[in-house]
Structure 1
Amino acid sequence: MSSDPDDLTHAIDRARRLAAESFPEALSVVLAGSTASGRATTTSDLDIAVLIEEGGGTRRETLRFEGRLVELFVHTRAGLDELFAADAASRRGVMQRMYADGLVLSERDGAAASLKRHAEDALREGPGALAPATVESQRYGLTDALDDLADATDVVERLAVAGVVLNTAADLLFDHRRAWTGGGKWLPRRLLQADPQHGGALLDGYRRLCENGEPEDLAAAAGAILTLAGGPLREGYARTWRAAAETRPGHT
């Protein structure tokens, strides 16, 4: 995390210059991500959402501006509605968070403030529940992964299985709490927001396994989450081929 306020100020100033030079007619320009939240490092990119008039194209673009990597999310209002819908379906709420938590660099006629309220409402509502068949599939997958974790003797195999346990248990916990998910560095952050107790225990167990090779704490934490979701599932689990393909982990 950046410890120098001057670095943050310079990053924001750079983003303002890009907005003024590249998008002078934009309805709104919002700086989001780690820079807006104060988590930026010297290598963090600038995540910038740009709302443009209808008739323009919705796109994502990566460029470099004054030596800093920039991720642009350019969209019309109609395009943003589609992005919001896609992010709700994926249960990640990426664009919703950009607008809810971002720093307004420029706006016309209160466009950014209106989108911020819309995004905050969507985040409060949360994602919809996973389909029952998907939850069953996740329960079955986690039950199987926990069995594999208990049996694993090879270090690399144990680590690989631990990753499956972490992600599948996290998916079930997010659904149980009707919370937004996250990937990469956002997975632990979202887990702790969704459920500090169970999410924290899951992350601690995963860390201990990675550090010491000991699976007991991870298995116990994932087992507790599995209980919240309905318990282990082995006998009695059945799916037709089409249903199994449509409801495998990561699908709804």
Structure 2
Amino acid sequence: MEEQPDEKLLVLVNRLKQEKYPDADSLLLAGSVIRGEATSTSDLDIIVLYPELPNAYRDSYYYDNWPVEAFVHDLQTLTYFIDEIDAPTGVPSLATMVDDGKSVPSATELSKSAKVLAQASLRKGPEPWSIQTVNSARYMITDLIEDLKDSRNATESQAIASVLYSTIADFYFRIHGFWSAKGKTIPRRLRKVDPGFAERFEKAFSAVFLKNESQALISLVSDLLAPHGGPLFSGHRLEAPEEWRK
């Protein structure tokens, strides 16, 4: 269900459409302003929908002191980006924005079709990881955890943990068949799909970053990998394609 942003903001976004995208069918206002989480530095994320375009594009600029990130599409380019660009990464960024977006000035047949497309993709979920991908992720996490165990100082531990943060989250999401997330979206998404794991995840990383204590994170990884074969190092082999020659 769409949240209702501040009425003044809707007026501003409608004016933006009229001035910058007068021929567009509609806009979808998404991001933190829709979720009620906007801060003084938040930007406006908008999907601009046209009946037809020569090509999709992304536009960044300021409007009325707001930083704006505009994703400009027609239905065909939107379909391509959702299915061919975002879906293979496991992170449904554009589909989520479209699904969450508030139609401005109002819903149209095109904006409704865009939402149906996004919702179908989100319901379908990501492609399951292959055994090879699972093993590669296990190997990478194992390698990083061994580095963390042997870390010589707090700076090294923080550097290793910063890589583990997204790597562990991605493994958790994908191994459970969920869409993944990146950056600041990770904790919000974890809390939504598994509040208990999210709490343990956050405490483990806080211990590394604030106290230089890594045992909670090492234990978290051990429990996460255990149902999938545990840590992986010995015997892991990754074949390069024959055509990788120069």
TM-score where L is the length of structure 1: 0.87
- The letter of the residue matching 1:25 is D
Are the counterparts in 2 of residues 172 and 226 from structure 1 also a CA contact under 8 Å?
no
1:68 lines up with 2:73 in the alignment: no
1:48 lines up with 2:40 in the alignment: no
- The letter of the residue matching 1:61 is D
Report the counterpart of residue 249 of structure 1 in structure 2: none
SS in 1 for 2:29: strand
Measure how far apart 1:108 and its partner are: 6.8
Provide the rounded CA distance (Å) in 1 between the counterparts of 2:118 and 2:170. Answer: 22
- Could you report, residue by residue, the CA deviation over 1:35-84 in whole angstroms, capped at 9, with x for unpaired residues? 11111112211001011122433100101111111111001111111110
1:28 lines up with 2:26 in the alignment: yes
- The letter of the residue matching 2:74 is T
SS in 2 for 1:122: helix
Provide the rounded CA distance (Å) in 2 between the counterparts of 1:32 and 1:22. Answer: 18
Provide the rounded CA distance (Å) in 1 between the counterparts of 2:194 and 2:95. Answer: 20
SS in 1 for 2:118: helix
Are the counterparts in 1 of residues 53 and 73 from structure 2 also a CA contact under 8 Å?
no
Measure how far apart 1:162 and its partner are: 1.3
Measure how far apart 1:113 and its partner are: 1.8
Q: Which residues in structure 2 correspond to 1:94-173 (within 5 Å)?
A: 94-106=93-105, 109-173=108-172
- The letter of the residue matching 2:101 is G
TM-score where L is the length of structure 2: 0.89
Report the counterpart of residue 59 of structure 1 in structure 2: 57
Provide the rounded CA distance (Å) in 2 between the counterparts of 1:149 and 1:27. Answer: 52
SS in 2 for 1:241: coil
- The letter of the residue matching 1:153 is R
Provide the rounded CA distance (Å) in 2 between the counterparts of 1:218 and 1:14. Answer: 45
SS in 1 for 2:105: strand
Q: Which residues in structure 2 correspond to 1:213-224 (within 5 Å)?
A: 213-224=212-223
SS in 2 for 1:235: coil
- The letter of the residue matching 2:153 is D
Runs (4+) of structure 1 moved beyond 4 Å?
Answer: none
Provide the rounded CA distance (Å) in 2 between the counterparts of 1:107 and 1:183. Answer: 30
Report the counterpart of residue 238 of structure 1 in structure 2: 237
Are the counterparts in 1 of residues 26 and 108 from structure 2 also a CA contact under 8 Å?
no
Provide the rounded CA distance (Å) in 2 between the counterparts of 1:43 and 1:166. Answer: 24
Are the counterparts in 2 of residues 29 and 48 from structure 1 also a CA contact under 8 Å?
yes
Provide the rounded CA distance (Å) in 2 between the counterparts of 1:200 and 1:131. Answer: 28
- Could you report, residue by residue, the CA deviation over 1:75-97 in whole angstroms, capped at 9, with x for unpaired residues? 11111111101111111111111
- The letter of the residue matching 2:55 is G
Are the counterparts in 2 of residues 60 and 74 from structure 1 also a CA contact under 8 Å?
yes
Are the counterparts in 2 of residues 8 and 38 from structure 1 also a CA contact under 8 Å?
no
Percent identity of the aligned residues? Answer: 32
Measure how far apart 1:109 and its partner are: 4.4
Q: Which runs of 5+ in 1 are unaligned?
A: 246-252
Measure how far apart 1:230 and its partner are: 2.9
